[in-house]
């Protein structure tokens, strides 16, 4: 529109919706990873590869959101949170989906053979990770309420109550991982199969770990105003 | 000849007023549309009526400053005042048009003050007055008010929003607080339109007042014409600006819009009663920053501050230089 002077420029780019969207993608990726393990277990390897590609796509989309935020959150923006805290938070949150992508690929490396109890244990680990990331997502969803209420004490308290829960769930993931590692190293399975499954466990652990670290960065960002 | 020039000045003054309504009034009212406190139609009606009332009831002090506060017109002949005021209007009108085309966040206030200064300097260069007789003291006060008004806007908005935050948002559900402010924001929108009219009408009719009120006061209908020009500007073009701007500022909720508008209108109305011509646009930018500083906004782009400072620095000399050129041509040929 020509012949038009405006003050719209004063309202800068807001990264908060994009941050929530990014967190949602992380949650969706884990859901797919869970399905991928199920498909693997029933030896539907075509489905395993299809799900890998789908996770890849989500990861790519998340990267685009990350780039959008990084490209727009310039120094001249005045936001209710510190810019560095925000970017650091985003970086750690992005690790969640990155590790999902890693595991998604690792499932296509080799067709391993494992007994039922190992698969059951993987199922337990994955649902615990899902629980962790769901809790994490709920925490991030508080962002819009925090902005609306201009970080009222009650809203801050409500949002940060999720942090210790995420940390507790992450610790439970750790316990399951330890159990799985012990089982795997003491099995008489093919050593290469064991090696690959150990890698899976390690990387699945990274997902939960990243969620806990991102929750911590979220708290730093909210309290560091 | 004099009659033709006077009619020309009134026509250009009306055009400047139209511009003020089309862009500046619209900008200040767009916050109400962005927050959906009012519909576009309601805003256009409120803005037109209250801008008109503000201009015609409360516009005389600032108009007087623009007309007689900068150039000592009583020391000049009536013909020279007519040439000077006409040149100032042409210059301001031209610069506002160019700046609007290039989307520079300039202020009509700065343009007209620069243009009147140009008139004074042109008269001084022809030795009708001395440079010292230009009212530098008043100019200094005006410039001071330009620096101060966004700061006061920011301070007031910060205080108002902080109060809302501490007393209401901390205690009650934000949805219920916002719904109360939906209605309160209608009041601040009216307040804002009234304040804007009272200050900015001078940018259009100040020079006309200098011509017609050369001796004694200017006829009252001058302010009415200015007020009408602004109202017509809002109704014929401003609604498009309100729509476009409003769509971009959706994050300004009722409480934020209320704080920014209340702070701006109070600052501008205070300036009007002191006779200081200030920029409403720059004051609202200051107020928005104030709400941001109080933690009320997701993101405020401070880059716009540099653009505003730059537009100050260029507007005054350009408007002055344009006026000097037009004045010189008019005096030589008419």
Token pair in block for residue B189:
């929108």
Element holding A78 (H helix, E strand): strand A77-78
pLDDT (0 to 100) of residue B216: 67
The answer to whether B37 touches B185, Cβ cutoff 8 Å, is yes
pLDDT (0 to 100) of residue A6: 74
Q: Find which of A1, A2, A3, A11 to mutate to test the B interface (most B CBs within 10 Å of its CB).
A: A11
pLDDT (0 to 100) of residue B186: 86
CB half-sphere exposure, A6, CA atoms < 13 A: 23
d(CA A32, CA A76): 39
The answer to whether B330 touches B83, Cβ cutoff 8 Å, is yes
CA angle B313, B315, B321 (to 5 degrees): 110
CA distance B311 to chain A (A): 12
Tens digits of residue pLDDT in B240-269: 888 888 887 777 889 999 999 999 999 999
- Which domains does chain A carry? 14-223 (1.20.58.220)
Task: Count Cβ–Cβ pairs < 8 Å, chain A vs chain B.
Answer: 123
Tens digits of residue pLDDT in B189-211: 899 999 999 999 999 999 999 99
d(CA A25, CA B131): 69
Q: What is the mean pLDDT of chain A?
A: 94
pTM of the model: 0.90
B245 contacts on A by Cβ (under 8 Å): 6-8
A5 contacts on B by Cβ (under 8 Å): 23-24, 27, 99-100, 103-106, 281
CA distance B132 to chain A (A): 36
CB half-sphere exposure, B205, CA atoms < 13 A: 33
* Mean per-residue pLDDT, B283-311: 90
What is the DSSP code string of B33-72? HHTTSS-HHHHHHHHHHHHHHHHHHH-HHHHHIIIIISS-
d(CA A134, CA A23): 10
Tens digits of residue pLDDT in B146-190: 999 999 999 999 999 999 999 999 999 988 999 999 889 889 989
For chain B, what are the domain ranges? 2-328
* Mean per-residue pLDDT, A146-172: 95
- Residue B334 reports pLDDT greater than 90: no
pLDDT (0 to 100) of residue A3: 63
B301 contacts on A by Cβ (under 8 Å): 9-13, 76-78
């Amino acid at each position: 529109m020509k012949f038009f002077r405006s003050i719209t420029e004063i309202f800068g780019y807001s990264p908060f919706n994009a941050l929530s969207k990014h967190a949602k993608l992380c949650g969706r990726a884990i859901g797919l990873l869970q399905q991928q393990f199920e498909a693997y277990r029933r030896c539907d390897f075509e489905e395993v590869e299809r799900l890998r590609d789908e996770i890849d796509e989500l990861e790519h989309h998340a990267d685009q959101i990350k780039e959008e935020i990084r490209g727009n959150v310039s120094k001249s923006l005045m936001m209710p949170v510190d810019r560095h805290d925000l970017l650091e938070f985003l970086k750690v949150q992005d690790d969640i989906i990155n590790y999902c992508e890693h595991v998604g690929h690792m499932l296509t490396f080799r067709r391993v053979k494992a007994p039922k109890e190992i698969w059951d244990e993987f199922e337990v680990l994955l649902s615990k990770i899902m629980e962790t990331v769901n809790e994490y997502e709920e925490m991030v969803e508080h962002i819009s309420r925090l902005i609306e209420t201009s970080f009222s004490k009650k809203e801050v308290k409500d949002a940060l109550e999720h942090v210790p829960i995420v940390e507790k769930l992450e610790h439970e993931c750790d316990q399951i991982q330890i159990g799985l590692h012990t089982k795997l190293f003491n099995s008489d399975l093919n050593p290469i199969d064991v090696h690959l499954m150990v890698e899976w466990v390690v990387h699945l652990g990274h997902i939960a770990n990243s969620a806990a670290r991102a929750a911590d960065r979220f708290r730093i960002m909210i309290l560091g105003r | 000849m004099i009659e033709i020039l006077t009619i020309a000045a009134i026509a250009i003054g009306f055009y400047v007023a139209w511009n003020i309504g089309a862009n500046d009034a619209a900008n200040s009212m767009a916050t109400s549309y962005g927050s959906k406190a009012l519909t576009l139609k309601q805003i256009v009606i409120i803005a037109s009526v209250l801008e008109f009332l503000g201009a015609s009831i409360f516009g005389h002090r600032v108009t007087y400053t623009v007309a007689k506060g900068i150039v000592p017109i009583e020391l000049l002949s009536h013909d020279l005042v007519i040439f000077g005021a006409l040149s100032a209007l042409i210059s301001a009108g031209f610069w506002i048009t160019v700046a609007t085309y290039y989307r520079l966040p300039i202020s009509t206030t700065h343009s007209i003050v620069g243009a009147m200064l140009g008139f004074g300097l042109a008269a001084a260069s022809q030795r009708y007055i001395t440079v010292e007789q230009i009212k530098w003291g008043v100019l200094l006060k005006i410039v001071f008010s330009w620096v101060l008004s966004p700061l006061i806007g920011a301070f007031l908005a910060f205080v108002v929003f902080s109060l809302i935050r501490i007393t209401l948002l901390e205690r009650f559900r934000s949805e219920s607080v916002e719904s109360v402010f939906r209605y309160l924001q209608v009041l601040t929108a009216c307040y804002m339109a009234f304040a804007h009219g009272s200050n900015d009408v001078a940018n259009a009719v100040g020079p006309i007042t200098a011509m017609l009120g050369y001796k004694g006061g200017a006829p009252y209908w001058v302010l009415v014409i200015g007020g009408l020009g602004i109202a017509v500007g809002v109704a014929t073009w401003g609604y498009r600006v309100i729509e476009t701007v409003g769509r971009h500022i959706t994050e300004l909720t009722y409480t934020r819009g209320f704080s920014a508008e209340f702070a701006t209108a109070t600052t501008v109305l205070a300036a009007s009663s002191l006779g200081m011509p200030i920029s409403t646009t720059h004051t609202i930018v200051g107020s928005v920053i104030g709400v941001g500083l109080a933690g009320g906004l997701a993101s405020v782009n401070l880059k716009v501050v540099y653009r505003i400072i730059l537009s100050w620095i260029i507007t005054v000399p350009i408007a002055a230089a344009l006026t000097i050129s037009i004045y010189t041509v008019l005096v030589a040929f008419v």
